[in-house]
């Protein structure tokens, strides 16, 4: 919708710009194609065909090379192809991109339905920083979103798909208010099914849903209990994080009844005057044995955050968020130099890092 309004404005501006005749503007309009009005329809059609071929290759490669700690070149190439396809402004409006995401999500749903965890923890990535972690007795969801943040209604998962995913989960943790982490349609499904949704108070503050959200104390080193259905209890710490000054950000650390501890950082970022959160970040591992850390891969000093938690496994997220402008959709290849990140150092470090794609899963054995 936004895009068409924008296009209309450009068109109107063109009509009334001196020196440009109405005929020229109309001609431009006629030539403009969909979804990218800057290109002809033939050019748009080519990009669709290219996306389709590239993403077919991605699927073929990922089927043979699933997520592993030291991934090979083939899997790396698949991710480069994804970077290429999804760094085109209108990728979320093109059928191949939409079909790819939906197929990956369908695959995830099928696995969720049939897979039980035993001694291990199974991690799925749905989209952006949306993760699902299942242990023997519980299934935790973090920042689970259906892709509506892409602004492409066709890209967003249909309600039935979200319903099926939520059915398989016990609880949703939302880190902060931004749409690529907080999806109201998804949260409503949890609440409808009587499953708790934990979020900071900035999330949907003036909305009727606010009173149904669980707001826990944001305090480092304070362990809180959360009761789930069937007498299951989680031990939680909600670390008082921030996305600089733009949002209050819950960094949730959850210990399951089996004693597996997982932490999700949302959009935690520290730089400039906002370095205070390192007071608690640097000390997490002194008091806790963390199994799995899910950090936002674009944060400036990811290596220091990982050292603070000292986890047995790192599973980064936030690649290719299509609601962001092209340069800000973190690519799998990193763009570290431009973004001033040390993500590449982390990947070369002693820490086991597994980088997943939408819909994939990884088995962690403590």
Window 238-277: contact mask with Zn ion (x via CB under 5 A): -----------------------------x----------
Looking at residue 66, the DSSP 8-state letter turns out to be -
Near Zn ion by CB under 5 A, which window of 172-180, 215-223, 252-260, 281-289? 172-180
Instruction: For residues 29 and 69, give the distance between their C-alpha atoms in angstroms, rounded to a whole number.
Output: 50
Q: Which residue has the tokens 């086991």?
A: 352
83 vs 267, beta carbon nearer Zn ion: 267
Q: Which of residues 321-360 bind Zn ion (CB under 5 A)?
A: none
Contact segment (CB under 5 A) with Zn ion among 18-26, 119-127, 174-182, 211-219 equals 174-182
Q: To the nearest whole angstrom, how small is the minimum distance from the Cβ of residue 183 to Zn ion?
A: 12
Minimum distance from residue 223 beta carbon to Zn ion (Å)? 27
Q: Give the shortest CB-143-to-Zn ion separation in angstroms.
A: 8
Distances (CA, A) of 11 to 23, 37, 40, 43: 12, 10, 15, 20
In the complex with Zn ion, the residue whose CB is nearer, 195 or 318, is 318
* CB nearer Zn ion, residue 43 or residue 328: 328
Return all residues near 212 (Cβ < 8 A) that are at least 6 apart: 191, 197
- Torsion, Cα 55 57 61 66, to 10 degrees, reads 10
* Residues contacting Zn ion: total by CB under 5 A: 2
Q: Which residues pair with 132 in a beta bridge?
A: 124, 141
Evaluate whether 173 touches 143 at the Cβ level (below 8 Å): yes
Count of helices and strands (H, E) across the chain: 12, 12
Neighbours of 340 (CB within 10 A): 10
C-alpha–C-alpha distance, residues 321 and 123, integer Å: 19
> Binding Zn ion by CB under 5 A: which of 36, 180, 319, 335?
180
The stretch among 54-62, 178-186, 248-256, 352-360 that binds Zn ion (CB under 5 A) is 178-186
Which lies closer to Zn ion via its Cβ, residue 170 or residue 180?
180
Minimum Å distance from CB 318 to Zn ion? Answer: 6
User: Restricting to residues 76-135, which ones interact with Zn ion according to CB under 5 A?
Assistant: none
Asked if 265 and 293 touch (Cβ cutoff 8 Å), the reply is yes
Interface with Zn ion by CB under 5 A: which residues?
Answer: 180, 267
């Amino acid at each position: 919708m936004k895009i068409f309004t924008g296009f209309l404005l450009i068109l109107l501006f063109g009509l009334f710009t001196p020196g440009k005749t109405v005929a020229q503007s109309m001609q431009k309009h006629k030539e403009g194609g969909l979804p990218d009005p800057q290109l002809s329809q033939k050019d748009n059609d080519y990009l669709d065909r290219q996306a389709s071929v590239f993403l077919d290759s991605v699927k073929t490669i990922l089927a043979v090379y699933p997520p592993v700690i030291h991934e090979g070149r083939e899997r790396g190439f698949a991710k480069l192809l994804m970077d290429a396809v999804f760094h085109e402004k209108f990728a979320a409006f093109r059928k191949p991109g939409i079909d790819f995401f939906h197929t990956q999500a369908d695959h995830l749903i099928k696995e969720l339905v049939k897979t039980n965890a035993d001694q291990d923890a199974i991690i799925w990535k749905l989209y952006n920083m949306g993760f699902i972690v299942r242990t023997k007795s519980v299934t935790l969801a973090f920042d689970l979103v259906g892709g509506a943040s892409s602004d492409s209604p066709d890209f967003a998962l249909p309600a039935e798909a979200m319903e099926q995913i939520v059915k398989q989960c016990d609880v949703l943790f939302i880190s902060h208010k931004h749409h690529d982490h907080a999806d109201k349609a998804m949260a409503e499904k949890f609440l409808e099914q009587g499953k708790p949704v934990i979020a900071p108070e900035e999330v949907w503050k003036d909305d009727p849903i606010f009173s149904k959200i669980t707001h826990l104390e944001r305090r480092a080193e304070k362990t809180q209990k959360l009761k789930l259905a069937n007498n299951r209890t989680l031990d939680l710490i909600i670390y008082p994080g921030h996305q600089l000054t733009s949002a209050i950000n819950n960094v949730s650390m959850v210990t399951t009844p089996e004693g597996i501890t997982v932490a999700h950082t949302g959009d935690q970022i520290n730089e400039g005057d906002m370095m205070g959160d390192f007071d608690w970040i640097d000390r997490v591992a002194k008091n806790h044995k963390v199994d799995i850390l899910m950090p936002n891969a674009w944060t400036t000093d990811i290596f220091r955050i990982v050292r603070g938690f000292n986890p047995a496994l790192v599973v980064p997220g936030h690649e290719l968020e299509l609601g962001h402008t092209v340069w800000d959709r973190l690519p799998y290849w990193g763009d570290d130099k431009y973004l001033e990140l040390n993500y590449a150092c982390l990947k070369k470090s002693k820490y086991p890092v597994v980088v997943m794609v939408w819909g994939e899963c990884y088995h962690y054995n403590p």
